[in-house]
Amino acid sequence: MKKKKNNDMLKTTSMVSMMFGLMATDMNKDKELDQKKRFFEIAGLTFPEDWDSLSNEEKEKRIKGVEQLGLKDQGAKA
C-alpha cells in the first residue's frame, strides 16, 4: 500500500519564500518583504490590518517565524 502524500501548502510556500530570499539579495527590503507576503497570501494566510505600519524588522521577524513553522521538520532554518 502506498503512503498518501500530504499536500502541505505552508511547507511549500515557506520553501518558495526562503528561496526567493536567497535570490533577491539585491532587491529593496520593502519589495522583498511585500513579495514574501504575497506568497503566503496566495497560500491562504492572512495578515493583520496594521501590517503596512509595521517596521521592516518586525515584518521580517514575523515572516521568518512563519517560514520556520512551515519547515520545522525539514532541517531548514529561516
Q: Is 21 within a domain?
A: no
Quick check: is 50 in a domain? yes
**Cβ atoms of 20 and 40 closer than 8 Å:** no
Q: What average pLDDT does this structure show over 15-25?
A: 88
Contacts of 62 (CB under 8 A, 6+ apart): 54
Answer whether residue 64 is part of any domain: yes
Q: Which domain holds residue 49?
A: 11-16+28-70
77 is a domain residue: no
Cut 0.85: pTM above it:
no
Q: Is the pLDDT of residue 4 over 60?
A: no
- Counting the structural domains of the chain, the total is 1
- Percent of the chain past pLDDT 70, that is, above it, reads 83
Q: Could you report the per-residue pLDDT of 27-56, keeping only the tens digit for each? A: 898 999 999 999 999 989 999 999 999 999
Which residue carries 527590503 as its cell? 29
Q: What does the radius of gyration of the chain's CA atoms come to, in whole angstroms? A: 14
Q: Per-residue pLDDT for 1 more than 80?
A: no
Would you call 2 helix, strand, or coil by DSSP?
coil
